[in-house]
Structure 1
Amino acid sequence: MVVKIKGCYVLKPSTPTLQGTLALSEWDQVGTITHVPTIYFYKPDQTFAAQPDTIANILKDSLSRALVPFYPLAGRLRWIGGGRLELHCNDMGVPFIEAESDSKLDDFGDFSPSPEYDYLIPTVDYTIPIHELPILLVQLTRFKCGGLSLSLTISHAVVDGQSALHFISEWARLAKGEPIGVMPFLDRKAFQDRTLPAGSTLGLDHSELDHPPLLLGQSDNIEERKKKTTVAMLKLTKQQVEKLKRMANEGNDYKNSGTKRSYTRYETVAGHIWRCASKARVHRNEQPTAMGVCVDSRSRMQPPLPQGYFGNATFDVIATSLAGDLVSKPLGYASSRIKEAIEKVTNDYVLSAIDHFRNQPDLTRFQDLHALGSDQGPFYGNPNLGVVSWLTLPIYGLDFGWGKEIYMGPGPHDFDGDSLLLPSPDGDGSIVLALCLQVAHMDAFKKHFYEDII
């Protein structure tokens, strides 16, 4: 694919905003602190397609206005020691790239992520000092057919998925001439100042966050990290999802129990993914394996976080098992391990986890940024994986005034064991799995993924 850059503009808030330093919470500074890309494809009607500059001008003008209430996105991060960050609100702005391609939307087939997406999504150069890196970058690419793509890559150290979608949806409202629906709540102290009661003896263990399992016989993951990966988009129909739920809940006597409940769609499908990954990777029975589960703490806090809280309120909890138990026991076992990990996330658990990271002398080893191009940092590849859910997020229907997208999805991801669950855009109850695995394991995974639904 040939993509020509036609212009790059640095957009700043349309009116002056508050300047100064914004402290970050522990959840902003651990796990993924690199940029996370998403991409939308549109097929505007002929009125808009004939006026491509109009689309660009609408996006640039509305983005500048959106950066007034969402002014942290126009700032920059900076290190303050101990692997910790703060956000400097200085209105340095957001790069907005305009590009053109001779390709057509039809060339993308089913829009599965591919290396060609790299040309449609802004590149972030992490060799540049972090205080010079934009927090948000945007690219508008026009295609020969009149279609276009709009891609965003946004720092996970500043927002999680829910906050990112909040910003994007409000930007779209402004582009259509509508007022802001929900103002962002920017005071991180609503989260940051919550602490365990003095003298608390909760004693909750968070050691699983520190040392993910390694392959048996290995003292590090260096060799595993060197292996080539590939990405697949795998669909489960509503009928297949329902069949998996029935399989998982066999023997789970939740209907006659006042304490049990049926396994959720996420717990069921994530358990299926975990089992299939262990089978595909041909793990030994005694191999420890972990699955990262991303949990939103907004409604789990007491009191809940304010509406529109703008920052990271999601974090990983870890479900663990021996591979032999995963593959030999029914699906309900894997789902039960995931359910157990999720249900321990109470207000006290969140506070104790924050306390755990707050007492760390250095957060570097908990941050994915330091894993780029090195052998350091967190790693959830073989024998582990992460399954992030977008199943309940409002990811579809983003209309800037020329209609809703024809496709929305994640940008490229090439980290072994990284996966994402998306709802079908048709709303028909089906689910799409975006999965990255080592090339050597992908075919076997696909086989088990479908054949194990019996």
Structure 2
Amino acid sequence: MAPIILRNIYTIVPSEPTWAGCFPLAEWDLVGTITHVPTVYFYNKPSELFQGNVVETLRNSLSRALFHFYPMAGRLKWLPRGRLELDCNAEGVSFMEAESEAKLSDFNDFSPTPEFEKLVPQVNYKHPIETIPLFLAQVTRFKCGGISLGVSISHAVVDGQSAFHFLSEWGRIARGEPLETTPFLDRKILWTGKPLPPFASPPQCERKGFEQPPLLIGETDNVEERKKKTTVEILKLSKTLIEKLRSRVNTSEYADPARGFTRYKTVAGHVWRCASKARGHSPEQPTSLGICVDTRSRVQPPLPRGYFGNATINAVARSTSGELISNGLGFAAEKISEAIKSVTNEYVMTGIEYLKNHEDLKTFQDIHALGSTDGPFYGNPNLGLVSWLTLPMYGLDFGWGKEVHMGPCTHDGDGGSLLLPDKNDDGSLILATCLQVAHMEAFKKHLYEDI
């Protein structure tokens, strides 16, 4: 691809004064992915109906959006014991303006490649965290007149639901429309309720998704697995394929005749089984699947509409490769269903209490594992499959039309996967998955042929 030429870098601050001060983040903000999550949008050349300047429109509307979502304009600060607090100091976000001789057609099917990284602001975590913006955006103009908008958003501040809420309202402001949903910014709501007693012993926490995932049999760590080369593939699962899988799983002995298994449980079970086959596991090999569950409606009382922060929790389904493969898709889907059902109000509150009492949260944070062989890791023999099926991820319009494509950038980490709806809304799904190079071809073969 043609080189990207960076023309300008701006710091965008809230359009009006906002509340200033520090407050601790909620426990769910502090664990798992606390680095930035990159996403990129592609747009055709703005039509003649759009009379404004693209960069000025984005900059001005972003400033107004930050007035309402002022935590995004702040900075993180380390506290003792691996804790973080959010300093709402209105230092602002980073906005970059770039151009390229490339054309939208050069991106073919928009599969994420290393070239995508040039379209999204990169974050250097070697810098002190107090200096890193929580939100970074880059608009790139292409030779054909098309545009890309790459954004990197700190997962320590928001989860997917809140990130897309912010982007959606930014678009509405750019179009001259009022907010659709005012953000609920008080995270203390997750500190309320009668606290549960601290964990009495390590086995209790193992039931709450905080233990380390299993290793390959015979290994004492995952160092060698982390060194192996990985590759990313964007794989389309057609509506016909999905229907075949659901027909199979919902006629199995494990299905509830009244409800059946959802698309996510069905596809996740299929992916889990295919990965175990592709990796060549022995039947007795333990394996786990990490599932990201939104707790907004699962806690009591439910979180307010527009809750702005992290409200997802990791649930873990467990089995052995032999059980997964020999018992069929219904067995895998039921394991996943049981893990999701376990995320009750008590599960969430007990997990919060566990984190509050944990001596140091660094062991649960991805930022400490960057470029190393330490820290949280799914990898062989495990998977993590995040669903974006219910997120408002499409239709981001700043006044010149909706995107022609949006998606994640390169998704690092063996076993890390995303499940997205197809933009055409035709019932098909998109699986963005990262596996070791040695396993990917076999995985794709099983994914499409084991139907």
Q: TM-score band (shorter)?
A: over 0.9
Question: Displacement of 1:197 after TM fit?
Answer: 4.8
Structure 1 partner of 2:114: 115
1:242 matches 2:240: no
CA distance in 1, matches of 2:330, 2:131: 48
**Unaligned 5+ runs, structure 1:** none
Structure 2 partner of 1:45: 46
Amino acid at match of 1:263: F
CA distance in 2, matches of 1:135, 1:116: 23
Q: Which deviations, in whole Å up to 9, do the C-alpha atoms of 1:422-444 show, x marking residues without a partner?
A: 00111110000000111111000
In the TM superposition, 1:68-79 aligns within 5 A as: 68-79=67-78
Question: Displacement of 1:195 after TM fit?
Answer: 4.3
CA distance in 2, matches of 1:200, 1:122: 41
Secondary structure (helix, strand or coil) at the match of 2:48 reads: helix
Q: 1:328 to 1:355 in 2, by over 3 A?
A: same
Q: Which deviations, in whole Å up to 9, do the C-alpha atoms of 1:312-355 show, x marking residues without a partner?
A: 00111110101111111110011011000000111111111111
CA contact (8 A) 2:255 2:261 kept: no
CA contact (8 A) 1:5 1:99 kept: yes
1:103 matches 2:102: yes
Aligned residues: 448
Question: Displacement of 1:415 after TM fit?
Answer: 1.0
CA distance in 2, matches of 1:210, 1:26: 16
Q: 2:263 aligns with which of 262, 265, 272?
A: 265
Q: 1:110 to 1:19 in 2, by over 3 A?
A: same
TM-score (norm 2): 0.96
Secondary structure (helix, strand or coil) at the match of 2:397 reads: coil
CA distance in 1, matches of 2:432, 2:384: 11
CA distance in 2, matches of 1:174, 1:317: 36
Q: 1:171 to 1:241 in 2, by over 3 A?
A: same
Q: Which deviations, in whole Å up to 9, do the C-alpha atoms of 1:280-302 show, x marking residues without a partner?
A: 11111111111100000000011
Amino acid at match of 1:423: P
CA contact (8 A) 1:74 1:90 kept: yes
CA distance in 2, matches of 1:197, 1:289: 30
CA distance in 1, matches of 2:154, 2:407: 17
Structure 2 partner of 1:22: 23
CA contact (8 A) 1:319 1:337 kept: yes
Question: Displacement of 1:196 after TM fit?
Answer: 3.3
Q: 2:430 aligns with which of 421, 429, 432?
A: 432
> Which deviates more from structure 2 when the two are superposed, residues 388-397 or residues 39-48?
39-48
In the TM superposition, 1:286-297 aligns within 5 A as: 286-297=284-295
Amino acid at match of 1:154: I
CA contact (8 A) 2:196 2:350 kept: no
CA contact (8 A) 2:139 2:150 kept: yes
CA distance in 1, matches of 2:7, 2:175: 25
CA contact (8 A) 1:204 1:349 kept: no
Question: Displacement of 1:254 after TM fit?
Answer: 5.1
Amino acid at match of 1:35: H
Amino acid at match of 1:369: I
Amino acid at match of 2:68: P
CA distance in 1, matches of 2:381, 2:139: 38
CA distance in 1, matches of 2:110, 2:71: 32
Secondary structure (helix, strand or coil) at the match of 2:11 reads: strand
Q: Superposition RMSD on alpha carbons, in Å?
A: 1.8
Q: Which deviations, in whole Å up to 9, do the C-alpha atoms of 1:108-164 show, x marking residues without a partner?
A: 011010110011000000000111111000000000000000011000000000000
Q: 1:48 to 1:418 in 2, by over 3 A?
A: farther
Q: 1:317 aligns with which of 315, 318, 330?
A: 315
CA distance in 2, matches of 1:370, 1:200: 25
Q: Which deviations, in whole Å up to 9, do the C-alpha atoms of 1:254-280 show, x marking residues without a partner?
A: 566xxx731111000000000011111
Secondary structure (helix, strand or coil) at the match of 1:235 reads: strand
Question: Displacement of 1:242 after TM fit?
Answer: 1.1
CA contact (8 A) 1:9 1:97 kept: yes
Q: 2:414 aligns with which of 416, 435, 438?
A: 416
Structure 2 partner of 1:159: 158
Structure 2 partner of 1:338: 336
TM-score (norm 1): 0.96
CA contact (8 A) 1:206 1:353 kept: no
Q: 1:364 to 1:6 in 2, by over 3 A?
A: same
CA distance in 2, matches of 1:63, 1:99: 17
In the TM superposition, 1:161-310 aligns within 5 A as: 161-197=160-196, 205-206=206-207, 208-252=209-253, 261-310=259-308
**Unaligned 5+ runs, structure 2:** none
Q: Percent identity?
A: 59
> Which deviates more from structure 2 when the two are superposed, residues 143-152 or residues 203-212?
203-212
Q: 1:372 aligns with which of 370, 373, 397?
A: 370
